[in-house]
């Protein structure tokens, strides 16, 4: 198992950034590695299950493990074949204004390290 932690800071306020996480239909607007979300729930809901659509028709099953709106944090597990990535996201006030968004990803090293560039890019888009 390997874990990485990424951060991005940008001008959007924490409430705006949290809304970009909260509403699943908004994910493709800031996460270029996600082209859509198939889930009965349309907002982050602990226990919800679905599939994220990725480029080239890839569909990856996920489970939202926890959501804490007061702390503006949430966690989910995404399956990549028989392997699992565990992702924990959070939103905090940025230094001097704006927002810092963070992501801790744990799982098999090739998946975690391979996902880091796309995740970093998405975080930068999330807070802008």
Contact of 90 with 71, CB cutoff 8 Å? yes
Over residues 60-64, mean pLDDT: 98
Element spanning 34, H or E: none
Give the pLDDT of residue 43.
Answer: 97
Per-residue model confidence as pLDDT tens digits over 83-124: 999 999 999 999 989 999 999 999 999 999 999 999 999 999
pTM, entire model: 0.95
Distance between CA atoms of 46 and 122, rounded to whole angstroms? 22
Task: Domain ranges for the chain, please list them.
Answer: 2-126
Q: Considering the chain, what percentage of its residues have pLDDT values greater than 70?
A: 100
Q: Is 69 exposed, middle or buried (0-12, 13-18, 19+ CB in 10 A)?
A: exposed
**CATH entry 3.30.70.1350 includes domain 2-126:** no
> pLDDT-derived band of residue 15, with 50, 70 and 90 as boundaries?
very high
Element spanning 21, H or E: helix 14-22
Mean model confidence pLDDT for the chain: 97
For the record, the structure tokens of 55 come out as: 């480029």
């Amino acid at each position: 198992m390997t874990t990485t932690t990424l951060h991005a800071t940008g001008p959007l306020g924490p409430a705006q950034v949290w809304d970009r996480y909260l509403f699943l239909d908004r994910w493709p607007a800031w996460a270029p590695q996600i082209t859509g979300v198939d889930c009965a729930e349309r907002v982050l809901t602990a226990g919800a299950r679905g599939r994220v659509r990725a480029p080239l028709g890839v569909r990856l099953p996920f489970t939202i493990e926890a959501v804490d709106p007061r702390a503006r944090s949430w966690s989910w597990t995404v399956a990549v074949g028989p392997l699992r990535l565990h992702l924990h996201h959070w939103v905090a006030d940025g230094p001097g204004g704006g927002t810092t968004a963070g992501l801790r990803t744990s799982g098999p090293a090739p998946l975690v390290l391979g996902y880091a560039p796309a995740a970093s890019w998405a975080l930068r888009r999330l807070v802008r």
